[in-house]
Amino acid sequence: MKYGSLILEKKEYVYLKRILNISGYAEDHEIQKCLMNLSEELKTAYIVDDEEMPKDVIRFNSTVTVTFNNGIEKTIQLVTPIDKDVKNNKISVLTPMGSALIGYSKEDSIIWNFPNGTQQITIKGVEQQVTHSGIDIVI
């Protein structure tokens, strides 16, 4: 891990903790395990002000390119639950993939227990959007 632990911007951290509490960790047992893993990682996350947030760290509305251990590459945008749109590759932070990516940075490799089994994913690219809808953050 490039920075030693997850890095989250303060407002995004508070928002994420809030939606994790509201979600009740979901009905599906496998998704529940992913969200519980994220909740555990948040306990050791490095929380920073917006101006200290590294540009290569995945946050809300980041566009991320990942490579799976089977060689498949995919580009997605990580969004709040209300903004999810699978057809347009916008995935919620409350999905297994979203919970795996938030707070990690470009070139990090993550081993995560997805519903279809444990996989390693490598983050190939991270691009930031101008605004972060739903939580009123501008970078």
pLDDT tens for the chain, 139 residues long, are 888 999 999 999 999 988 888 766 556 677 777 788 888 899 999 999 999 999 999 999 999 999 998 899 999 999 998 999 999 999 999 888 998 999 999 999 999 877 788 889 999 999 998 654 455 443 3
**DSSP character for 57?**
B
The full set of domains in the chain, from first to last, is: 7-138 (3.10.50.30)
Q: Shortest CA distance to 2 belongs to which of 107, 118, 129, 135?
A: 107
What is the value of pTM for the model shown? 0.86
- Which pLDDT score, from 0 to 100, does residue 27 have? 65
Nearest one of 137, 135, 105 to 123, comparing CA atoms:
105
Identify whether the C-beta of residue 84 lies closer than 8 Å to the C-beta of residue 92.
Answer: yes
